[in-house]
Amino acid sequence: MNLVPSEFTAQSSAKAATAPAMGGVAILIPTLNEARHILGVINALAGSAEKLGAQIVVIDGGSTDGMVDLVQAEAARRPSVILLHNPKRLQSAAINLAVERFGDTLEWIIRVDAHAGYPEDYCDVLLAEAQRTGADSVVVRMHATGTGPLQTLIAAAQNSLFGNGGSAHRGAGEGRFVDHGHHALMRVAAFRAVGGYDESFSHNEDAELDQRLGQQGFRIWLTAATRMDYFPRDTLRGLAKQYFRFGHGRMATARKHPGSLHKRHAILISLAPLLVLAALSPLFPPLALPFGLWLAACLLAGVATALRARSASIALCGIPGAVMQMSWSLGFWTGLLGGSRTGGKRSGPGSRQGAMTGHGG
């Protein structure tokens, strides 16, 4: 099922048609309880996999929703589909495991999220872009899309400037070289040269890896030729937990790579102290004013987003936007004050440790 707008497929088909075979390719899908989405993702990419002679490797972290049975049935029908068990559960460990198992026969890996939709020529376009640019990693833009009222509001917030802070892979524009983007295609030699993912990171492992790629001279290309559609959380509670972990992971990246924070992060970091001041407002009511002004700004930003989109149905997207911002800030400060448990020794493919250690959670 092609869940990306047809204009992206049309624009990229010509480039994809010229993509030659470029060594062994594997499509890696780290998963945990993705029974609702996994078959749609496999079906969307199966055509490219067959044409490229690529394996589709589903690396499962212990699903309990019946997903494993679905993948096993699909593997019996499609020889290209392989199921691996990931005892460490984390996505970082899942990709490392697959590269450790199959990397000797591969030139490229394509990381795919189960909670997303892809055009049928997605893999072909990524390979064509790598050939055209000489990049070691090709990253893609994400477009959030929702199906219910709340998920639609969350998607609108994630697609907006006030929700994503201007992240390069969340916006539009021409393709360009960047220091970070949403992971898609990567050269196995580059992945191994920097040691793979740091398995002590439960979140933000992609940004942390990109720091090491840049430090060692590898180039990251943000393509405009294709994109992925991301299905966000559909509850505010789930959204808050996710962004808390994002903030915590970003703190771990900043601790490991000083200077990696951007201006947009400084704004988010300042939000948690506003909540502390508001909590003290019973002692002195004006202390609640900064928090109130920030919340009002989020609500107004949501209305402005709806006006630009000419869609009254997303006028309240400032609410999930506020949840995202504050949760991220609280996660960052928790990592800063409590001492982040992430960002320790890495142990992926090619690392000095050799063995793949790390912790889940």
**pLDDT tens, position by position, 200-252:** 988 899 999 999 999 999 999 999 999 999 999 999 999 999 999 999 999 99
Q: Return the SS3 of 337.
A: helix
Return d(Cα 115, Cα 207) in angstroms, integer.
19
- Return the half-sphere exposure (C-beta side, CA atoms, 13 A cut-off) of residue 88: 22
Burial class (CB in 10 A: 0-12, 13-18, 19+), 31: buried
- Give the pLDDT score at 264: 85
* Cβ density class 154-185: b for 16+ within 10 Å, e for less: bbbbbbbebbbbebbbbeeeebeebebbbbbb
What is the crossing angle of helices 149-159 and 289-309, to 10°? 100
Return d(Cα 92, Cα 348) in angstroms, integer.
9
pLDDT band for position 166 (50/70/90)? low
In 5-136, beta strands by DSSP E = 25-31, 55-60, 81-85, 108-111, 116-117
Place of tokens 């697959």: 98
Place of tokens 């209305």: 303
10-19, 42-51, 122-131, range with the lowest pLDDT: 10-19
Q: Residues 34-63: what's their mean pLDDT?
A: 94
In sequence order, the 6+-apart residues with CB closer than 8 A to the CB of 354 are 347
- Give the pLDDT score at 164: 76
- Give the pLDDT score at 354: 31
- Return the half-sphere exposure (C-beta side, CA atoms, 13 A cut-off) of residue 308: 12
- Give me the chain's average pLDDT, please: 87
Domains and CATH numbers, the chain: 6-233 (3.90.550.10), 252-338 (no CATH)
pLDDT in tens, 265-289: 999 999 999 999 999 999 999 999 9
- Give the pLDDT score at 19: 35
Q: Residues 43-65: what's their mean pLDDT?
A: 94
pLDDT in tens, 339-359: 655 544 444 554 333 322 232
Q: Does the pLDDT value for residue 37 go beyond 60?
A: yes
pTM for the whole structure: 0.83
